[in-house]
Chain A
Amino acid sequence: MPGRGKGEEGRALLEVKGLRVAVAGNEILKGVDLAIRDGEVHAMMGPNGSGKSTLAQVLAGHPAYTVLAGSAQYEGKDLLDMKPEERARAGVFLAFQYPVEIRGITNSYFLRSALNALRRERGEPELDPIDFLQFLEQKLKAIGWDDSMMNRPVNEGFSGGEKKRNEILQLAVLEPRLAILDETDSGLDIDALKTVAETVNRLRNPDRAFLIVTHYQRLLNYITPDVVHVLADGRIVKSGGPELAQELEARGYDWLRDGVMVS
């Protein structure tokens, strides 16, 4: 596929320019610029209410948000013009901060429906339940997990950690080109956090970019990002390398808030 080379020369996989977004009449994002290239891992950090989750949800197409201005190009196409399912089929994946329970539908049935929707888009044959189970077994093996969650209704009665793990499992099965993790680390104890981080690391490859939205630096102890951004009051106020995350851990966010705009 063209445009997949890592580095400065290729076109960015995701290019967000001047994005302004409101929810229920309140402007949350006030002009966000962001470029993510193939295979890069970006961390989006920032204090509560800075707009991190809004950015994640808007990129996935959540209907509650209104785009006021700006653009988001994904693989050179207008991402904001696409329905959520079209974005997913094009390779955009959002790991939810609050995964939703779906009564009566087993995880396995749900995953197969989702995978087949993607396969239809790619012109690949759909997997029947038996083929899917084999495919799933390989995936589970690759990330070192068992199938204990597969025959339970989606997220129903799952613990917080199980819900987050389930999001990462979907990531592994659906193999997106751009994976957005919305506070996947929140609510996880240290063991669960390590498990999730290890899995994400295994899923890193030159054809898959990550946007990791997090409030805390601790996830970045296990996943080393290429770029770290700080979002404050709806704008990216600072971007840097992995060392920026450490600096934020040491100094907090306040020193960036007083109108300091560094990029």
Chain B
Amino acid sequence: MAVQTGSVERLVGSYNAWATNGASRAPTWLKDLRESGIARFGDLGFPTMKQEAWRFTSVAPIANASFELAHPPARIPQLEDIRSFLLFEAGYRLVFIDGFFQPSLSTPFFDDIQSLAHVLTHRQDLVRQHLGQYAATQDRPFSALNTAFVSDGAFVHLPAKATIAEPIQLLFLSTGGKPVVSHPRNLVVLEREARASIVETYASLSEGPYWTNSVTEVVVGEAARVDYHRVQRDSGRAYHVAATQTHQGRDSTVNLHTVAFGAALARHDIGAVMAGPGGTLILNGLYLLAAEQHADHHTTIDHAADHCESHEYFNGVLDGHSRGVFTGRIIVRPGAQKTDSKQTNNNLLLSTDAHADSQPQLEIYADDVKCTHGSTVGPLDPRALFYLQSRGVGEHDARRLLTYGFAAEILGRMDVAPLRAQLDAIVRGRLAEP
């Protein structure tokens, strides 16, 4: 399928209508940011499979469909309707329906845990200082498009040395009623020595088709620590495009966990810049796909400073006709000496029609570094199968146990117990008999 240029024009037209109507009261800096986004998207258009970064993923199904810009929901769900998605009753929580913040379902905290829509006017200086400063748009049409439509999303700010014990939940639900597109934009800023745990979840209230195009920027100050969890469990007919960009200061820690269960087509670009020395990064991901699902993870770890450590683990479990794509780019800049970087990507193929592409890309410009990578693609290990059978576990259960272990290895690195339990239940459900 060829990408229609008409779809780009339609999106630009949709932007123009929105900018002159709903978004016309924005301050100048924000208008400029949006204008630069739409101009960039207009120039780039939708990516094609001729581009290196997109060679395994066709976005034609998105480009050729006509998604209307989402409207605020006609009916706001009750807390009961969304309870199954919540991890905690207590704690701070921001809930969005089709991209729009829902105060009645949320428990914000003053101007620090709030909707972006609110802080775009109430904390302009801080937002302006960070928004759009980390997520690249130059060669990223979807991030550029998101930037054009910046209006709502989650905002989390922790002042220096602040700690929040309970994980903060950011819940993005789609109604799935009409084929609409939303562009959630999230900004997380942890000042020096602050510490927080965040769970960002994308899910659907129905099985309808929709398109989510999100961008999340996470800024982690000196010696701060964030445990960031991102769960994509969209409808099986949804399209999910996302960028997550972290930026780490000196001696900071980022543990970034991502899980992709849903969507017909998903693309997640994860970027991590280690800008100060002594930083630690764990990038821990799982994709569990079946039927005709396609998920593409594109990760870039940028070691821009010395003495940083990054560990990347991605496991894929692929059934049916699904396809998993993993690209793991690691850049070690000149001067980033004593970098210690480890990357593994293991893909388990449960069906002969499932397919995995795994590509490590190491670009090392410093000489005193330790970088290792490894990737595997294949069916269950027959030796492990026999080992379990020889202990009395039947073949069918042994297969399930080994498959479960592939997912459990990733989930086991997450610290939030209720989240782990929620994801564990989803994994077990997916592995159960039809």
| Chains A and B come from one and the same complex | yes
Q: Which residues of A contact B (CB under 8 A)?
A: 60-63, 83-85, 87-89, 93-94, 96, 99-105, 110, 113-114, 117-118, 121, 153, 170, 174
CB < 8 Å: which of B381, B394, B406, B407 contacts A100?
A: B381
B416 at the interface (CB under 8 A from A): no
10 A-B pairs (CB sep. < 8 Å): A60-B390, A85-B391, A96-B390, A99-B387, A100-B383, A100-B384, A100-B387, A104-B410, A114-B392, A117-B391
Q: Of B384, B391, B410, which is in contact with the most chain A CB atoms at under 10 Å from its CB?
A: B391
Which residue of B389, B390, B408, B410 has the most chain A CB atoms within 10 A of its CB atom?
Answer: B390
Question: Per a CB cutoff under 8 Å, which of B346, B381, B392 touches A117?
Answer: B392
Instruction: Chain B residues near A83: list those with CB within 8 A.
Output: 389, 395
Residues of A within 8 A of B391 (CB): 85, 88, 110, 113-114, 117, 170, 174
B384 — which chain A residues lie within 8 A by C-beta?
A: 100-102
With a cutoff of 8 Å between Cβ atoms, the chain B residues found around residue A113 in the complex are 388, 391, 393, 397, 401
CB of B386 closer than 8 Å to a CB of A: yes
CB distance from A229 to the nearest CB of B (A): 23
Question: What is the CA–CA distance of A138 and B61 in the complex, to the nearest angstrom?
Answer: 59
Contact of B409 among A61, A62, A87, A104 (CB under 8 A): A104
The answer on a CB contact under 8 Å between A104 and B382 is no
Q: Which residues of A contact B394 (CB under 8 A)?
A: 85, 117
- Are A84's CB and B389's CB within 8 A? yes
**List of 8 A-B pairs having minimum Cβ-Cβ separation, nearest first:** A104-B405, A104-B409, A88-B392, A114-B391, A104-B408, A117-B392, A84-B389, A105-B405
When each residue 391-421 of chain B gets 1 if its CB lies under 8 Å from chain A and 0 otherwise, what string results?
Answer: 1111101100110111111101000000000
A114 and B412 alpha carbons, distance in the complex (Å): 21
Complex Cα spacing A254 to B129, Å: 82
How far is A61 from B382 in the complex, measured between Cα atoms in Å?
A: 13
Interface size on B, residues (CB 8 A): 27
Would A105 and B408 be within 8 Å (CB), given that A63-B382, A85-B393 are in contact? yes
List, in ascending order, chain A residues with CB within 8 A of B395's CB: 83, 85
Residues of chain B contacted by A104 (CB below 8 angstroms):
404-410, 412
A105-B401, A174-B391 known, 9 other contacts, Cβ within 8 Å? A63-B382, A84-B386, A85-B390, A85-B393, A100-B386, A110-B401, A113-B391, A114-B392, A174-B392
Q: What residues of A have a CB within 8 angstroms of the CB of B408 in the complex?
A: 104-105
Partner of A88, one of B383, B389, B405, B407: B389
A63 with B386, Cβ < 8 A, contacts A85-B393, A104-B412 known? yes
Bound together, the chains give a CA A105 to CA B409 distance in angstroms of 7
Q: Are B402 and A102 in contact (CB under 8 A)?
A: yes
A96 touches B401 (CB 8 A): no
Q: Which of A62, A84, A96 has the most CB of B within 10 A?
A: A84
Whether A96 pairs with B387 at a CB distance below 8 angstroms is yes
Question: When chains A and B are docked, how far (Å) is the Cα of A154 from the Cα of B397?
Answer: 17
> Is B401 a contact of A85 with CB atoms below 8 Å?
no
Q: List the A side residues contacting B346 at CB < 8 Å.
A: 103
Give bound CA distance, A258 to B384, whole Å. Answer: 39
Complex: A96 Cα to B388 Cα, angstroms: 12
**CA separation between A173 and B214, bound complex, in Å?**
51
